Structure 1
């Protein structure tokens, strides 16, 4: 009996120890589960808080975006209204300027000769018959521009800068693409050019030397262009368009690397044609502030007379000559409206109060060139690659 009793007691203690062990294990697991539940509850509360904050932020952002969209819509409407008002104001300005243009500064002629200068004081002392003889010798034309009658944008071809012009003595049209090259494109007429695809259908004329800058001119079957090779003197070249040969050249009275217009530094010099023949716009040195004018003989390229126009080169983009009167067109580096702001009459026959201040209708940028055709009273303009025709209104000078 005694061994059996000992065995029973031993089993009882073993069962009690196992029960205590499992109870402790269960208590531990229960505590861990409670801790995990507490942590999960905390995470849940934090997630709910974050979600609430995100919803609030989303609502706030949505309201802000709605407000910005409304403000943007209102600003867009205001800008459209402002743009319409600006267009209306520009239209009214064009009309007012056409009807009653403010006066430009008409500079008196100062003929600069190699021997002496012909000044204002000396001019007052010149006898009337001497002045009349000089006037007839320089120019017999008595017309000036009074306004721009109409504008026609023909097409867009080639580079932002270039030149196109028509021979006053024929219907042929010539295109100079870019600021230099040895190729000229000839079209039979303005109509052929307007209906062509690019330069297709034109006659390509290859010159024996490069033309420099958009300052060429075509007159009576001859091409006159500026040539300046690297580290070489500047010269005027006369090229026979019919025979395809150079007939004459003349050295140019200016220093190398000088530019005529500050807004178009590629223009070394500018050849212009009007009723009186061939003119040359240039600057003797790059430090010279004003534009100089020379009358040239179309046959020999001899310089007959030279004037200091007193028209500044600063902010000048182009110029042209009509009846012996130079019209210099100005702009700003941030392209705005081109305007004729300086007028110079070689005959000193223009009164200051009749000198026109012409505004060109606002287009694309700035003119790279403006070429006058005396047979049509039109300007051929090149503006940011667009070819534009300006039809001019002409009137007689008051002193005529």
Structure 2
């Protein structure tokens, strides 16, 4: 924890790391990664590691400490009771010890002169033996109590070590002060994030396998417009002949298979390149170039529109086929459609869509063949295309809609299960969702950001 506090004061990085905080992607479980801050000169300083706010309260560890202290107190009271009892018994033992010594002397006298043994001695010995009989169970109880006391003392020693460790951990700093600093940092981070321009992809790391389920081909996603508190997961198995969408309330429910709802779409879908955006599902209607907008809240189609000139039904799919002609995606700038047309010689066309009407607001013609692309995704208005869906895949080409220019890139990523049939960017979580040969996986992305200044 002191290291985390130190990070707050000495960060000098210029790249931001998009991590998935709800999974185990951070530096350690239970910690959160914030993605930038700003120094006094307006420069962006990045990658702050700090405990989640709920860990900055005293509740969990204080409760643990209180329970241990109560246990020690209870044990101390028990030991006190045992001590009182054993002290009382010990006094009785001491009293009897004198009588036993006298009895021993009498036995010795009898042994030395048996002829002087008279009946009165036997009677006296018998009375003494009767008097000493209660001593036997007292001695047994004394031994038992002594053993219990020894065990209690050993347990108290162990608990004391645990308590000392906890006190050192939570007593080294003031949690209220730390929580105040974290809240202040979060506000500064939000201010700095507002000064960030869209980032350029620098690196893809992972993958992290979330689950293994379904067929070789499918799609799964969350809504980048939803709040992190309501991060539902949608699951659409197969690339054709299906119209059942499964919903999970959280990523944890998705992993455990705790399905919350199912939706039966009015039309079957084609491909695996669907997207959920602001509470609605956008997908390509089977055997057509029609885009459907379906509301999960109302269970109704809110809009549908043909994508003019777009090839469909395996005319211009990605290299893996699967009716992947039309790829719908979302990024920081909105909703997009990636497809190919005869007019552009089968090369990729990028269309920016109106999320409400599905009208194409603007298009960009690239020179990259749709059939030669493994998969693609949008980040900050730039289309990134992989050279393959198989082993050895990498991001090979990018096209910027801002400058209408392209460049060849070389950003490798680990295609762990050898067949990617869906790859989409989530702007809120800054990760890539992928369906990799029946495995649902996440890739982290590293983006390079340019800071907007007042002069610019």
Task: Name the TM tier (shorter chain).
Answer: 0.5 to 0.7
**Which of 358, 364, 371 is the aligned partner of 1:301?**
358
Mapping of residues 347-358 of structure 1, within 5 Å: 347-348=402-403, 352=407, 356-358=409-411
Unpaired segments of 5 or more residues in structure 2? 1-195
Q: Report the alpha carbon displacement of residue 391 of structure 1 after superposing the two structures with TM.
A: 1.0
Q: TM-score normalized by structure 1?
A: 0.59
User: Match for residue 118 of structure 2?
Assistant: none
Unpaired segments of 5 or more residues in structure 1? 1-139
| Aligned: 1:214 with 2:269 | no
SS at match of 2:265: strand
**Which of 247, 259, 281 is the aligned partner of 1:223?**
281
Whether contact under 8 Å (2:341, 2:347) holds in the other structure is: no
Mapping of residues 310-349 of structure 1, within 5 Å: 310-331=367-388, 335-348=390-403
User: Match for residue 125 of structure 1?
Assistant: none
SS at match of 1:210: coil
SS at match of 2:255: helix
| Aligned: 1:366 with 2:435 | no
**Which of 218, 232, 238 is the aligned partner of 1:172?**
232
Larger radius of gyration, structure 1 or 2?
1
User: Match for residue 106 of structure 1?
Assistant: none
Whether contact under 8 Å (1:259, 1:286) holds in the other structure is: no
Bigger relative contact order (CA 8 A; separation at least 6): 1
User: Match for residue 195 of structure 1?
Assistant: 256
Structure 2: distance between partners of 1:373 and 1:330: 21
Mapping of residues 1-400 of structure 1, within 5 Å: 141-170=197-226, 171-180=231-240, 181-196=242-257, 200-229=258-287, 233-253=288-308, 254-257=310-313, 258-285=315-342, 288-331=345-388, 335-348=390-403, 352=407, 356-396=409-449
Structure 1, residues 263-322: CA drift from partner, whole Å, max 9, x if none? 234212000100111000001139934111100000111101111122222432211000
Root-mean-square deviation over aligned CA pairs: 2.4
Count of matched residue positions in the alignment of Structure 1 and Structure 2: 251
Structure 2: distance between partners of 1:246 and 1:162: 22
- Aligned CA distance change for structure 1 residues 176 and 189 (closer, same or farther; 3 Å): same
- Runs of 4+ off more than 6 Å: none
- Aligned CA distance change for structure 1 residues 362 and 300 (closer, same or farther; 3 Å): closer
Whether contact under 8 Å (2:397, 2:406) holds in the other structure is: no
- Aligned CA distance change for structure 1 residues 374 and 243 (closer, same or farther; 3 Å): same
SS at match of 1:193: helix
Structure 1, residues 101-137: CA drift from partner, whole Å, max 9, x if none? xxxxxxxxxxxxxxxxxxxxxxxxxxxxxxxxxxxxx
Structure 1, residues 32-74: CA drift from partner, whole Å, max 9, x if none? xxxxxxxxxxxxxxxxxxxxxxxxxxxxxxxxxxxxxxxxxxx
Structure 2: distance between partners of 1:216 and 1:260: 14
Whether contact under 8 Å (1:351, 1:398) holds in the other structure is: no
Q: TM-score normalized by structure 2?
A: 0.52
